[in-house]
Structure 1
Amino acid sequence: MEATSGYKDYVAGLMAGIITVITGHPFDTVKVKLQKYNTEAGGVKYKNGLHCATRILQTEEVKGLYRGATSSFIGMAFESSLSFGIYSQTKRFLQGEIDGGKPQPHAIVPSAAFGGAIISFILCLSELVKVSDARVPNFLLYLEYHLCKVVFQCRMQVQGTDFMVPKSTRFRGPLECALKTVQQEGLTGMFRGGLATLLRESVGNAVFFSTYEYARYFMHLQLKGASSESSQLIDVGVGIMSGGLGGIAFWSAVLPLDVAKTIIQTTPEKNHSKNPFSIYRRSGLRGCYTGLGPTLVRAFPANAAAIVAWELSAKLLGIRRVQ
């Protein structure tokens, strides 16, 4: 990308985040419920992602799949803005203007990992409340919400009215969830799963952006010489494929860390292991990939939509990129 006003990178990332929630939130709800209840010893299990989604629709209708989507729109927009913005600006700083369209691993990997590490601190305060439909009526409440979202995102998401799921404490919204967590676990409870989130985001972002950049480069290389009339359609098609493949690569690489994070954040025992690698000893290799189906089904369309939204927004904002 050529030098440009910094804020534009963040605006384009914000648009990508909004589109991601619209496309992928229902799949994420199913994934979190599978990770929580299908890794516990004993108890009723969901047969698969489709069974879980069907149960949610039967007991809570479509709104059950979008539990907490209101807060996710705010959180994901902010997080995506930072992720794409930091990645774009750091990559530009590391590789300068010597781009030529060819991916530069020495710039892509550290830029993506750095962006992922930064947003992991916000995410670890954000995912414990994910599926709350609580409103955010003013800026102060928004700040209070954002200081607790990752841990509470999952805790709100695993709630619901499905009789297959053991009845748990109900939270009316993210703020109540935050207050109860602090009362019961102290301030450190708000950072449960922090290491797992840091590893997931830094490693995952490096894998995602590397896959996206290389897939995009080689696809454009193959399509070089296409008529200018079809160039916009080609850009969208390449964005869909490169973004979708990047999303699949991301989750294939870090799903075990995501499963560990969900378990750490939703287990009520204070002395439960915070080691993200203990998931293998607890549930084996199969348990590490609990929720893989809905995760990959979500990964392609959600990330494809995010990349297309990011690239189109960047183009509208005047951020040009050499193919």
Structure 2
Amino acid sequence: MLQKHNTEAHGIKYKNGLHCTARILQTEGVKGLYRGATSSFVGVAFESSLLFGIYSQTKQSLQGGGQSDVPRPQVIIPSAAYGGAIISFVLCPSELVKCRMQIQGTDSLVPKFSRYSSPLDCALQTMKNEGVTGIFRGGFTTLLRESIGSAVFFSVYDGVAFWSAVLPLDVAKTIIQTAPDKSSTRNPFAVLNSIYSRAGLKGCYTGFGPTIVRAFPANAAAIVTWELAMKMLGDKS
């Protein structure tokens, strides 16, 4: 919500994450906070297992199979970037559906009769109106975010570092995926340049606070689960 509305030239402006939450509770109730959650849960669950799996296999291949060797940056970075690039093809459609479901509840310009009834309806309507490629709108931006972000994350094991590095790309992705005009630019750098000209660097990091709060438990759970799985499978690296 913050990324969509606070970066527009006109429209709703939220003071911060708490103000945004309060506004959603006031207008939509508790269910509004979970709008688009279904597609997000499915995408994240599949994405996490795929990312860690690809990263682990690619890392072992680049190390020549030596599990006892300590991974080097020249192994970690390309392995993580490759994994991030692959999972972007899974994340892009699920995040497009999530973002479109989320904004329709607060966008007064969207009449109720034309709103999506479910994530599946959103996906089907998107493909009907924009073609199959429409469901992958923002794909290049998602690929950049995931490949760069994953390289940073696996290098330092820090979700804060991940989002500090790529949040501007996430902001651009949200704008691209929720643009009402399907002919609008899909160039993330053009989008960020427009935001920067209106709101400066702060605008490019819209939603940073709530994202970091979410990142702590999410990334901690992912790392612990992965480490335990590797130990159970006998990977000592």
Q: Normalising by structure 2, what TM-score?
A: 0.89
Identity of aligned residues (%): 67
2:220 partner amino acid: A
**Aligned with residue 156 of structure 2, among 190, 200, 211:** 211
Corresponding residue for residue 320 of structure 1? 235
Classify the secondary structure of the residue corresponding to 2:19.
helix
Deviations 1:42-97 (A, max 9, x none): 22201111111122233334332222323333221111111000001110111135
CA offset at residue 290 of structure 1?
Answer: 0.9
1:195 partner amino acid: F
Larger CA deviation: 59-68 vs 273-282: 59-68
Q: Does 1:306 align with 2:222?
A: yes
Q: Does 1:188 align with 2:156?
A: no
Deviations 1:183-212 (A, max 9, x none): 322222122111101100111110110112
User: Matched residues in 1 for 2:84 and 2:52: separation?
Assistant: 9
**Aligned with residue 288 of structure 1, among 179, 184, 204:** 204
Corresponding residue for residue 274 of structure 1? 186
8 Å CA contact retained: 2:81, 2:146: yes
CA offset at residue 167 of structure 1?
Answer: 4.0
1:79 partner amino acid: E
Deviations 1:124-144 (A, max 9, x none): 222111xxxxxxxxxxxxxxx
Classify the secondary structure of the residue corresponding to 2:94.
strand
User: Matched residues in 1 for 2:37 and 2:92: separation?
Assistant: 17
User: Matched residues in 2 for 1:70 and 1:249: separation?
Assistant: 27
Larger CA deviation: 267-276 vs 301-310: 301-310
Task: Give the superposed CA RMSD.
Answer: 1.8
8 Å CA contact retained: 2:7, 2:206: yes
Corresponding residue for residue 79 of structure 2? 111
User: Matched residues in 1 for 2:79 and 2:227: separation?
Assistant: 18
Corresponding residue for residue 60 of structure 1? 28
Deviations 1:207-249 (A, max 9, x none): 110112xxxxxxxxxxxxxxxxxxxxxxxxxxxxxxxxx1111
Q: Structure 1 residues 283 and 312, CA, compared in 2 at 3 Å: closer, same or farther?
A: same
User: Matched residues in 1 for 2:208 and 2:226: separation?
Assistant: 26
Q: Whose RCO is larger (CA < 8 A, sep 6+)?
A: 1
Q: Structure 1 residues 96 and 126, CA, compared in 2 at 3 Å: closer, same or farther?
A: same
8 Å CA contact retained: 2:44, 2:91: no
Considering only CA atoms, is the larger Rg found in Structure 1 or Structure 2? 1
Classify the secondary structure of the residue corresponding to 2:70.
coil
8 Å CA contact retained: 1:256, 1:279: no
Corresponding residue for residue 241 of structure 1? none
Q: Does 1:171 align with 2:121?
A: no
